[in-house]
Amino acid sequence: MAPAMGNELQHCTVLLKEAVDALITRTDGIYMDGTFGRGGHSRAVLQRLGEAGRLIAFDKDPLATATAQQIQDSRFSIVHDSFASMRDAAAERGVQKVSGVLLDLGVSSPQVDDPERGFSFRVQGPLDMRMDPTRGESAAEWLAWATVQEITEVIRDYGEERFAFQIAKALVARRAKSEHLGLLDSTRELAEIVGHVVKTREKGKDPATRTFQAIRIHVNQELAELQVVLESALSMLEQGGRLVVISFHSLEDRIVKRFMQAQSSAPQMDRRLPIRAVDLPSAPMRVVGRVFPSEAEVTDNSRARSAVMRIAERIAP
């Protein structure tokens, strides 16, 4: 990820070489890139694949899929949908097993840096926050009807914000004034409301950071879709296939870590049952490891600072 430069929104892929090295176990395999973004990982994977290899990428963002369509490679295809649709999309293409699944989670720099997308509290823009602006309910539309309890739960659970209740009350109170002020539909006003409520925050962190994160996660159902795609990846990976996931905040990473740990532990059997050790079920995966960005990468790209990549391998059918 990288900041905007001039009028062009740039994107610097985090852990590019490390992710591709971890993912590719055979050059003739079929691979899934769950988050195309601006194609950094996908292009690197294609460079490593042989003629028989194949890559299917996914992205909800119409601008990302438009970028993907510029790739003229018969081994590559793009799906304009969430990675939660991975298993169905693969089946439609006659794919049952894959050699690897890569997920680069979070928001891409072009999305954050484009004011019209509404992801950033630093710039004025419409309060949208949808990965796909053509589908679903925007952040402004959700805030126009959600109750104090619903807003509190989202900001508390997805933003880990201790002032969630106070923020929710302030947002609903602002809504009561919509007859005179209009709907709350700008990023700057949301940030200002949160800033008036949250008086203390970690050094160097904007008071609105956690609230914007929470609402974005809710609007896009990010954590629910992550759970779905992890299960899909497990069912689709061939023996020896890799699952590689790059997370950028603790909620995502916690889900990935717990999933990989659970799948790398053999099912517990009742010791009183007359089952031979050789017949005991084995764990379907093994944890390969985790990787963090180097100091040099963080220096070049500050948004890589919070990234962690976890790798697991399918070991049993």
Which residues sit in the known binding site for S-adenosyl-L-methionine? 39-41, 59, 83, 104, 111
For the chain, the C-alpha Rg in angstroms (whole number) is 21
Q: CB within 8 A of 262, min separation 6: which ones? A: none
Q: How many alpha carbons fall within 13 Å on the CB side of residue 277?
A: 0
Q: How many alpha carbons fall within 13 Å on the CB side of residue 1?
A: 21
CB-based contacts of 49-52 (< 8 A; 24+ apart in sequence)? 49/24, 49/75, 51/75, 52/27, 52/28
Tell me how far apart the alpha carbons of residues 190 and 170 are, in angstroms, rounded to a whole number.
10
Angle between helices 148-159 and 164-176 (to 10 degrees): 140
CB-based contacts of 88-96 (< 8 A; 24+ apart in sequence)? 89/56, 89/58, 90/32, 90/56, 90/236, 93/56, 95/30, 95/56, 95/236, 96/236
Q: How many alpha carbons fall within 13 Å on the CB side of residue 8?
A: 4
Q: What is the DSSP string of 66-83?
A: HHHTT---TTEEEEES-G
Which class for 274: exposed (0-12), middle (13-18), buried (19 or more C-beta within 10 A)? exposed
Residue numbers belonging to the annotated binding site: 39-41, 59, 83, 104, 111
Query: Cβ(227)–Cβ(262) under 8 Å?
Result: no
Beta-ladder partners of 58: 79
CA distances from 278 to 122, 267, 275, 281, 282 (A): 59, 14, 8, 8, 10
